[in-house]
A and B are shown apart, each in its own frame.
Chain A
Amino acid sequence: MNVRRIAVLVGKEIREFRANPSVIIPVLIVVVLCTILPFVVVVVVPRATGQSIADDRSMQQVVAAATGHLPALAALDAQTAAEAFMFQQFLMLFLMAPIVGAVSLAAYAVVGEKQGRTLEPLLTTPVSTVELLVAKAVAAFLPAVAIEAAGTVVYLALIAALGSPGVLATLLTMRTVLLLGILGPFASLAALQAAIAVSSRVNDARSAQQIAVLLVLPLAGMLVGQLSGLFYISTWMLVAASGAMTAVWVVLVLLSVALFERETILTRWR
């Protein structure tokens, strides 16, 4: 695998995004929604209704249960603890944001080259299938993660500005770093690689997108499970999940190479 050639292809994809910025809009919309939604739930709605989320009985129960995993919550007053818990849970949205947004980029990656008839000239170069497919996934991943990172900074800044004092400090933990800095990117990369594999087997971007978006379901399940108090993802679980996602990505790279039928694409695509 030639890293230089992958970098050239990633550069080309990024140039295409820059030349046609509308393709980035889905990622942007999802990240903006993920950034705003928690503040609507935790800040805007309680202020509008005059009811604190800390007064809600089921919230009190969930927060009380969570203090077992998040001891820092026990030291906070009820309002701050409820806010800290909610903002912590909504961090999970930032795991899904780059995937939901960038899956359309990845789904279109190979189909787009097929439709534009640009794949055959590309295959006349020394580029190997694995280089091509990794480059496609990385190219969809980079803008998505960059936007996610910017969204996270805005999210934390808004918590500092709008949340109760002490909430931000509760969030700045190793768990958050692992969640957003390691698990998030590797989960995105794995999901996007799967979308690339789908993209190389279907004939139109819509099919690829519809199949690829199903990859978000496990992460959505994790979010719902955490919010409902069904389970809590500990730091060690995050470390294990990050390792697993890395392995899944490698397996998906191999799988997408196996699924990429160079001859079929060249000879039957019309």
Chain B
Amino acid sequence: MLIVESVTRRFGERIAVEDLSFEVKRGEVFGLLGPNGAGKTTTLRMLGGLIPPSSGRVVVNGRPFTRATGSALRARIGFLTETPGLWDHLTVEDNLIVYARLFGLAQPAAAVERVLRLFELLDRRADRVVLLSKGMKQKLALARALVHDPEVVLLDEPTANLDPQTSRTVRDLLQHLRSLGRAIVVSTHNLDEAERMADRVGLVSRRLIAIGEPSALRREMFGCRLRVRLSGKPAAGGLIEAALRAGARDVRVEADGLSMIVDAPDTGAPAVIRALVTAGGEIREVFDEEPALEAVYLKLLAGSAS
């Protein structure tokens, strides 16, 4: 649905985004993850056709962005910008109706009604935007980005300024959009949000450092750490040896059991567990101890910087 091919963007001598390539399929939420100044907003602006890449191309539903196709392609994209950018003196409804008409909708009033209902803004429709809270403004900006029911949705920090409850609403909405087959790109530096919202994440720091499912990235960087809880005090020496023989590495003794890295968890973990049982271990519980995405993020960024 959305293909980014070797996209580079320069501003004078400065390179903001370098040789970025990825693809977002229908029904997929792609998280663009990176620190401030990593080029996330510039990337989104290129994806939305607001600024052209210096080289490379962006393809939406088989059509590359060009001067000739820009207007038509923008009509298929919903873009939540970094700041809500609402007209403060107009009402909630007027803000939406202008956009519905600019997108050329046949029934703008019905479309506005739909998003007002979706974002629970119906009772605020006649209020001027200046009277809304930050969170309400962000909800309205989201409603505006979706008023024309776009095929591609680009969201720049969608949960910024939102309270936990509204953030939850936004995440639920993303799942709803995903179920409708929309291709969604979410930029954030909030790792928890990325993990909760995205099917795949791309870690950017000017260039694409890593891409994949959050769990796969973790595994790639740290392997899979298995935690084994044992009944009674573990007979550490024998069990460690058994685990090591079964293919585990970096085996550590914890307060209530052991933890270890198993490189191929699907086949390796059962073998390790069998070995521990055979060695006399009384196992109460076994689970994957996944490192936080933050650890992956920091490790990748540190690797990129070096």
Binding site for B on A (CB under 8 A): 4-5, 8-9, 11-12, 15-16, 19-20, 116-128, 262-263, 266-267
Expressed in whole angstroms, the minimum distance between the Cβ of B182 and any Cβ of chain A is 16
Which residues of chain B are within 8 angstroms of A12 by Cβ–Cβ distance?
87, 90, 94, 98
Q: How far is the CA of A266 from the CA of B41 in the complex (A)?
A: 11
Given A8-B102, A15-B90: A121 touches B79 (CB 8 Å cut-off): yes
Contact A116 B50 (CB under 8 A): no
Contact A267 B90 (CB under 8 A): no
Q: How far is the CA of A262 from the CA of B42 in the complex (A)?
A: 13
The residue from B72, B86, B99, B128 contacting A19, defined by CB atoms under 8 A apart: B128
Contact B85 A125 (CB under 8 A): no
Contact B90 A19 (CB under 8 A): yes
A sample of 12 more A-B contacts (CB under 8 A), given A124-B50, A126-B102, is: A5-B102, A9-B98, A12-B94, A19-B90, A116-B85, A120-B82, A124-B74, A125-B74, A125-B75, A125-B99, A126-B103, A266-B45
Contact A120 B94 (CB under 8 A): no
Query: Can you list, as one digit per residue, whether each of B87-111 has a CB less than 8 Å from chain A (1) or not (0)?
Result: 1111000100011011110000000
Which residues of chain A are within 8 angstroms of B144 by Cβ–Cβ distance?
121
Which residues of chain A are within 8 angstroms of B45 by Cβ–Cβ distance?
266
Given A125-B103, A126-B74, A126-B102: A266 touches B83 (CB 8 Å cut-off): no
Which residues of chain B are within 8 angstroms of A20 by Cβ–Cβ distance?
89
Q: How many A-B residue pairs have CB under 8 A?
A: 83
| Interface of A (DSSP majority class) | helix
Given A116-B85, A266-B50, A267-B51: A124 touches B141 (CB 8 Å cut-off): no
Which residues of chain A are within 8 angstroms of B88 by Cβ–Cβ distance?
116
Q: How far is the CA of A82 from the CA of B87 in the complex (A)?
A: 51
Which residues of chain B are within 8 angstroms of A263 by Cβ–Cβ distance?
51
Contact A120 B72 (CB under 8 A): no
- In the complex, 24 of the A-B residue pairs with CB atoms within 8 angstroms, ordered by the A residue number, are A4-B101, A8-B102, A16-B90, A116-B87, A120-B81, A120-B85, A121-B85, A121-B86, A121-B141, A122-B85, A122-B102, A124-B48, A124-B74, A124-B145, A125-B74, A125-B75, A126-B72, A126-B75, A127-B71, A128-B71, A262-B50, A266-B50, A266-B51, A267-B11
Which residues of chain B are within 8 angstroms of A117 by Cβ–Cβ distance?
81, 83-85
B77 in the interface (beta carbon within 8 A): yes
Q: How far is the CA of A5 from the CA of B100 in the complex (A)?
A: 11
Expressed in whole angstroms, the minimum distance between the Cβ of B58 and any Cβ of chain A is 14
Of all chain A residues, the one with the shortest Cβ separation from B75 is A126
Q: How far is the CA of A31 from the CA of B199 in the complex (A)?
A: 61
